[in-house]
């Protein structure tokens, strides 16, 4: 296998989040991989499965070259999907998780999508409660495939709404934010996002990833950040950035800009800005400089009074502008780091997941019983 996750696990009946790495353990592409729907007329069987790979559209050609390079003599057919052949949807509910997602958590229940369904998907595990990912055939509206709002409630929104929500949760996506052949999977939080299976066999780039996991310290991670200036206040403590549409006049720094401490001496960068929209964004931050996380038990450089900035290119005749930036450490990521990641919290996470599955299924059984009584 060429990916960090294990697509062949016995409990895997839906898609999953993963990544392709190079031999140095750097990310080539982040991706979702889904089992190919059986109703598409393809000739796949249980012994000859098919897969759909969802990847940054601008990276399709590069990924195909990478796959063909490692194909060797494997009886594997590869092709890029045509425009309009498939549509990707992100579904979420601000109050409760979509009902269909509860059936795809590796429990004994079957998926609410029948084996002959033309739809495939998965729970989006990149952040707790982030929702679900759906792949539908053609370019029709989602309601053409799921007219029953009991399965997927709500209405379609603009792509910017999804992007804002993704950045608020600290999720980087695509090679504009997860820089190709530069980003490390654990710095991109792939371990917390269940994008790396540390129990699977060999894959390209495994050596550095597994060594860092077992013996190293991940000193930088991608975090959501709040952008502001001297005329704006930023909350001292918050679990998530606050998006303000009226802050559209705030200049968004270019991707790759270095973060430095306000009033500090020139030295090691505190992080690197990856991208943003309005007054929020994502940055690869040094945890012991920009957050109160202590990774080694020794002293850190963090001081709650310190502020950090991004310098913008100067316009002719004007001095260089600056935008201040505050890193926000989401509670689920902080808990993951403090627990020691997968090594120490696996059993705790498994117990929580088991209870979560039971709670969801119990809720659904209650709703079904209530509907029958009505």
- pLDDT at position 185 is 96
- pLDDT at position 363 is 65
206-215 and 342-373 are packed helices; what angle lies between their axes, rounded to 10 degrees?
100
- pLDDT at position 26 is 96
What is the phi-psi region of residue 292: left when phi exceeds 0, alpha when psi lies from -120 to 50, beta otherwise? alpha
**What's the CA gap between 3 and 206, in Å, rounded?**
9
Lowest mean pLDDT among 131-145, 216-230, 270-284: 131-145
Residue 98 has pLDDT above 50, yes or no: no
- pLDDT at position 100 is 36
Mean pLDDT to the nearest integer, 31-38: 83
Residue 226 has pLDDT above 90, yes or no: yes
- pLDDT at position 10 is 39
Q: Where exactly are the structural domains of the chain?
A: 16-95+113-188, 218-338, 349-373
Give the residues across from 284 on adjacent strands. Answer: 222, 272
Mean pLDDT to the nearest integer, 82-106: 64
- pLDDT at position 103 is 34
- pLDDT at position 358 is 61
**Three-class DSSP category at 206:** helix
* Mean per-residue pLDDT of the chain: 80
Mean pLDDT to the nearest integer, 197-224: 88
- pLDDT at position 72 is 73
Q: Is pLDDT larger for residue 368 or for residue 195?
A: 195
Q: Are 253 and 310 in contact (CB under 8 A)?
A: yes
Residue in 198, 305, 314, 203 with CA at minimum distance from that of residue 262:
305
Q: Is pLDDT larger for residue 252 or for residue 28?
A: 28
DSSP 242-259: ---GGGGGSPPPPTTPEE
* pLDDT classification of 357: cutoffs 50, 70, 90: low
What are 42-90's pLDDT values in tens digits?
544 455 678 899 999 999 999 999 999 888 777 888 999 999 999 999 9
- pLDDT at position 48 is 66
Q: Is pLDDT larger for residue 261 or for residue 247?
A: 261
Which residues have CB under 8 Å from 290's CB, separation 6+?
223, 259, 270, 271, 302, 308, 327
**What's the CA gap between 350 and 38, in Å, rounded?**
31
Mean pLDDT to the nearest integer, 168-194: 95
Q: Is pLDDT larger for residue 313 or for residue 43?
A: 313
What are 137-170's pLDDT values in tens digits?
998 888 888 777 766 777 888 899 999 999 999 9
Mean pLDDT to the nearest integer, 196-209: 87
- pLDDT at position 181 is 95
* pLDDT classification of 352: cutoffs 50, 70, 90: low
Calculate the alpha carbon distances from 89 to 115, 134, 152 in Å. Answer: 20, 5, 11
Lowest mean pLDDT among 39-43, 218-222, 248-252: 39-43
- pLDDT at position 311 is 84
Q: Are 24 and 208 in contact (CB under 8 A)?
A: yes
- pLDDT at position 212 is 87
Q: Is pLDDT larger for residue 128 or for residue 367?
A: 128
């Amino acid at each position: 296998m060429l990916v960090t996750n294990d697509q062949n696990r016995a409990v895997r009946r839906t898609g999953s989040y993963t990544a392709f790495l190079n031999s140095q353990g750097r990310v080539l592409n982040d991706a979702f991989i889904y089992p190919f729907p059986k109703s598409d007329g393809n000739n796949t069987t249980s012994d000859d499965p098919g897969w759909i790979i969802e990847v940054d559209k601008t990276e399709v050609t590069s990924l195909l070259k990478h796959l063909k390079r490692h194909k060797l003599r494997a009886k594997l057919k590869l092709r890029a999907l045509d425009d309009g052949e498939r549509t990707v949807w992100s579904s979420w509910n601000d109050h409760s998780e979509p009902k269909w997602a509860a059936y795809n958590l590796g429990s004994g229940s079957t998926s609410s999508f029948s084996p002959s369904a033309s739809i495939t998907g998965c729970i989006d595990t990149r952040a707790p409660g982030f929702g679900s990912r759906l792949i539908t055939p053609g370019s029709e509206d989602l309601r053409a495939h799921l007219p029953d709002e009991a399965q997927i409630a709500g209405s379609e929104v603009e792509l910017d709404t999804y992007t804002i929500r993704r950045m608020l949760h600290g999720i980087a996506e695509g090679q504009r934010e997860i820089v190709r052949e530069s980003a490390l999977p654990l710095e991109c939080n792939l371990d917390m996002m269940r994008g790396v299976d540390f129990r699977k066999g060999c894959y390209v780039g495994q050596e550095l990833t597994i060594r860092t996991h077992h013996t190293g310290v991940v000193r930088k991670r991608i975090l959501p950040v709040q952008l502001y200036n001297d005329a704006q206040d930023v909350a001292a403590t918050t679990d998530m950035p606050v998006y303000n549409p009226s802050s559209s006049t705030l200049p968004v720094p270019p991707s790759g800009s270095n973060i430095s401490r306000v009033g500090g001496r020139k030295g090691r960068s505190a992080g690197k800005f990856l991208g943003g929209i309005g007054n929020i964004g994502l940055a690869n931050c040094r945890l012991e400089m920009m957050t109160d996380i202590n990774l080694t038990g020794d002293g850190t450089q963090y001081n709650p009074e310190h502020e950090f900035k991004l310098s913008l290119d100067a316009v002719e005749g004007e001095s260089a502008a600056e935008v201040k930036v505050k890193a926000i450490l989401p509670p689920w990521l902080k808990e993951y780091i403090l627990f020691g990641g997968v090594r120490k919290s696996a059993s705790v996470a498994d117990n929580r997941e088991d209870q979560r599955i039971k709670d969801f299924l119990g809720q659904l059984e209650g709703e079904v019983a209530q509907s029958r009584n009505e």
